Structure 1
């Protein structure tokens, strides 16, 4: 496969996200809808928008796209689609329809575009949703993603910032995707580690959320470009603290080795700059700090579940996602919104 597909891109995956703090002042200036049927809009920082259409039905709507982080166009399409679908799952919804969002350089072979779209279509089909069209433009760098529509019962809607004191925290995928991909792109990576990261990114979070209805899920978010700590801060909100056991965190093979060798990402450093002063890191080794800040593309779910349900939920999730782990608990607000053990 020609290297032009990846080498032409200045950034890729969720590590290319604009920092929330850089957008917040502009978002605050936008008019906020007063429609009571809009249950979740951009003012809340949740994973997707939600609009209620009936007493027992609401539409979940999300859009996600980015430039490549892997060399194979088909694999890129599968990862981008899995990442876009994830926001619907994080809200407790079911994906029903998707539209392609595509940017593609005129100089690259159109066969690559076909492979990207085929990869995305395969993941939409796996999700049980309908691929219904989309929009494409020429651009200097390839970019791809989906606008996804889902459905959820508003009485069972899951937010990202509503944990309850005493809850147990479950993380469903291993961390370290951004660091591993950076090593691969720098030609100092490990082939087996790269393949493990790719397999993780391609994995739909659908399989974890399929288990949700039988358990008391109080909050959920998917871990993407802002890393575990920033998404954890969103979950903690103003009333709670997340206590994370760093020894229990699932980490992809070689990711910690690369981080200890100071092979870090620009996205991870942006995350550190944005939130580093909100978390006490003095007792955490540098390499592990980088794992905590590392931007995750198509990362796992961080789930806040009633403690009495945690063991059973974890066992159910591990049938399909064996790396899932219990990683901490929720307490009343302490000095810091996140405590690292």
Structure 2
């Protein structure tokens, strides 16, 4: 909803929960979800629950946006700058947590960032005016970038050293600590992503599926600095990570 420039209206809880866990855990999960729903300005409208061996929680959200303010994932133009609003690598870090390789304290900063709504980033996009945008979630940075580029009939060059990645994510991924979705994303994008002097280990976090990832925005080059400033004044970090080009595909450089 935020990636399209919209306003969330309603949210419905979707819960999977095992009978073996104390219901107090479920209450905490639902309370956390409600706090974010209220922060967004949306209304909670009931929910659905199923019994499952592993706890899962999410929201089905309905939003609205005025027709003349819609931001689509198509519309990126050659020369546009690409701006990313949250670091990558959360999927790697949470996988490491599940395997008891890292502690909750070690990934606290990443979890706190994931808990931030993309509402301020949406407001910054509205203020500056952008060409296209998408959120970075299950398909990872390269997957969602490719989706946007193909919808726009363009390509991109991205610069690995400019892409924010959580510090521990690279060595963990190189040690084989990453979710299955990362490998699926990499296989799916085979042949559509080319590396120019970037090792495979440094590419891994770019395929990493994100939970509550940031926005990836294509903005006219002349407005890119204004977008970064608009983000910063709202407490959001924006990194210019590449540019849109005419030739299809993604090229990753140093």
TM-score, normalised to structure 1, is 0.70
Question: Which residue number in structure 1 is paired with residue 220 of structure 2?
Answer: 306
Give distance in 2, aligned partners of 1:115 and 1:135: 17
CA contact under 8 A between 2:132 and 2:217: conserved in structure 1? yes
Give per-residue Cα distances to partners, 1:166-219, cap 9 Å, x unaligned.
111100000110111112222222555411221121111111111222222111
Question: Which residue number in structure 2 is paired with residue 81 of structure 1?
Answer: none
Question: Which residue number in structure 1 is paired with residue 163 of structure 2?
Answer: 249
Alignment of 1:319 with 2:233, yes or no, is yes
Give distance in 1, aligned partners of 2:220 and 2:182: 31
Alignment of 1:203 with 2:110, yes or no, is no
Question: Which residue number in structure 1 is paired with residue 249 of structure 2?
Answer: 337
- Other structure's SS at 2:190 match: helix
- Structure 2 gap ranges (5+): none
CA contact under 8 A between 1:262 and 1:287: conserved in structure 2? no
Give distance in 2, aligned partners of 1:193 and 1:254: 9
TM-score, normalised to structure 2, is 0.93
- Structure 1 gap ranges (5+): 1-87
Number of residue pairs aligned between Structure 1 and Structure 2: 252
Does 317-326 or 203-212 show the bigger shift?
A: 317-326
CA contact under 8 A between 1:180 and 1:193: conserved in structure 2? no
Give distance in 1, aligned partners of 2:48 and 2:98: 29
Give per-residue Cα distances to partners, 1:205-255, cap 9 Å, x unaligned.
111111222222111101011111111110111620111111100111211
- Other structure's SS at 2:131 match: strand
What RMSD in Å do the two structures reach over aligned CA positions?
1.6
- Other structure's SS at 2:189 match: helix
CA contact under 8 A between 2:194 and 2:251: conserved in structure 1? yes
Give distance in 1, aligned partners of 2:137 and 2:91: 10
1:322 CA displacement? 4.4
Question: Which residue number in structure 2 is paired with residue 44 of structure 1?
Answer: none
Find the partner of 2:192 among 262, 275, 278.
278
Question: Which residue number in structure 2 is paired with residue 216 of structure 1?
Answer: 129
1:149 CA displacement? 1.4
Find the partner of 2:40 among 127, 139, 155.
127
- Other structure's SS at 1:188 match: coil
Question: Which residue number in structure 2 is paired with residue 240 of structure 1?
Answer: 154
